[in-house]
């Protein structure tokens, strides 16, 4: 979970297999005011399933009601469930990000980006942006069956107007 990070609303199909009415009512009351979750009584069109069974919440993909995506959550710990759903919502937002605008890191741009790779002697070596390309190939090294390497980015605003940006680190498992 990342504070103040944007979210994508989730369509959640809620199934109460325990028939524990009080937990279902409490959950629906707490979720009804949240901008990132909408509970559905039907599976069609949902993003995920939320199943209450054996006193635990299980979050699964729409097509697979058996295997949980995250560790099951005790039914008494609704705050943890809500935090988990918010984290999934943030991941969904990142997963669906698309940039259809032109690439701003081209020649004659007001924004300049430099990328550096740390060499074995701990010095930094610049990685040039290939002409007419918008990607940078990072030559990571394989050492002891593990890929490694450190990169550094420098953004320079050559224009007159402020440029606002943020750096988002996604781990190899794409966790936000």
Report the pLDDT value the prediction gives residue 61, as an integer from 0 to 100.
92
Report the pLDDT value the prediction gives residue 1, as an integer from 0 to 100.
47
Give the angle 141-142-146 at the CA atoms, nearest 5°.
125
User: In this structure, what token pair is assigned to residue 94?
Assistant: 């990142």
Which residues in the chain show pLDDT less than 70?
1-6, 98-109, 130-138, 166-176
pLDDT digits (tens, 9 = 90+) for 120-143: 888 998 887 766 555 666 677 777
């Amino acid at each position: 979970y990342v504070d103040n990070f944007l979210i994508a609303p989730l369509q959640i199909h809620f199934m109460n297999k325990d028939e524990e009415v009080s937990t279902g009512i409490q959950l629906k009351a707490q979720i009804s005011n949240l901008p990132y979750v909408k509970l559905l009584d039907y599976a069609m069109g949902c993003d995920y399933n939320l199943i209450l069974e054996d006193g635990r919440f299980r979050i699964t993909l729409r097509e697979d009601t058996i295997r949980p995506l995250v560790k099951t959550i005790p039914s008494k710990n609704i705050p943890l469930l809500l935090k988990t759903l918010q984290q999934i919502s943030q991941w969904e937002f990142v997963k669906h990000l698309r940039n259809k605008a032109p690439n701003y890191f081209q020649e004659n741009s007001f924004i300049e980006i430099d990328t550096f790779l740390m060499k074995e002697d701990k010095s930094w070596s610049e990685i040039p942006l290939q002409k007419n390309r918008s990607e940078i190939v990072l030559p990571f090294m394989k050492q002891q069956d593990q890929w490694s390497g450190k990169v550094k980015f420098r953004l320079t605003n050559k224009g007159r107007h402020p440029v606002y940006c943020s750096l988002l680190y996604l781990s190899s498992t794409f966790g936000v």
